Structures are given as structure tokens and as C-alpha cells.
Amino acid sequence: MPTAPKLVAGLLLAALAFVVTEMVKAGLPSSITVGAVSEVNALIAFFGGWKFIGARVGKGTSAAITNGITGTFATTVVCLFVHAVEQMVADSMDRKYRTVFEAIDGAITYFLEYGSFLLTFNVLGLMAIGAIIVAVAAEVASHYWR
């Protein structure tokens, strides 16, 4: 059922995902081309905020912060998985893999490669602070709009 805390969590986590993705894109080598990655991540993050953060409000600030960090981590994993599988499918269409196991290995390789782009102090710091802000805002929304 739609509630204000779910909407707040979804919108704020989508905004956080968009900003983080733009930050990561700015630091990528010029040889890497990206499409609508920011928009896709924001869409995934909206549903992640709705499901992982917004659905668990009302248990206090410390629980909200924990849920915010958990929700942000889960959403990040889903985003990485989606983009890794997308790249693996594109490589499969180019007949880069001979077996299913090579394709799975390719997806895991892309997942780890894309995840390594997130391992900078600025990105991790923004994600942690943003997760806390999203969670506390959803918690506050749960107290004002029921």
C-alpha cells in the first residue's frame, strides 16, 4: 500500500542514486561509454527505497539508519547486477562466449569491475551520508504522515 514514507524513501534514494552515478561517470576513463545508466539506477533505487527503506519505518532513528544503509547497499547490488547482466547479454549477442558458464563468468567479472568504480572515498562517503539522510527523512515522514 502506498504511504508517504515509502514515497519519500523512494524519491530520495532515486535522487541519491542519480547523483552517485553522475559522480562515478565523471571519474570513468574516456574510453568507457555509458548510456542512460543514471536514469536506470534512479528507477531501480526508487523501488529499492520504496521496498527496503520505506516499508520498514516506524521503529526509531537507529533502526532507520540501519535500514537506510541496508537499503542503499541492496539497491547498489541490484544496480550492479542489472548492468553486469546487460553487458553480458550484449557480449553474448556478439558471440563472445561459447558456453553458459563463460557467460556467467563474464557477468561476475563485469559485476566486480563495475563495483570497483564505487570504491573511492567520495563515492562511499556520499552513499553512506545519503543513506542516513534518506532513512531519517523517511522516519520523520512516518511520524508526520500516517
Q: Reply yes or no on whether the pLDDT at 146 is more than 70.
A: no
How confident is residue 56, by pLDDT bands cut at 50, 70 and 90?
confident
Q: Give the tens place of pLDDT for each residue, 10-39.
A: 999 999 999 999 999 988 888 777 889 999
Q: Reply yes or no on whether the pLDDT at 48 is more than 90.
A: yes
Burial string for 118-140 (b: 16+ CB within 10 Å, else e) reads: beeeebeeebeebbbebbebbbe
Q: Give the tens place of pLDDT for each residue, 112-144.
A: 999 999 999 999 999 999 999 999 999 999 888
Average of per-residue pLDDT values in the chain: 92
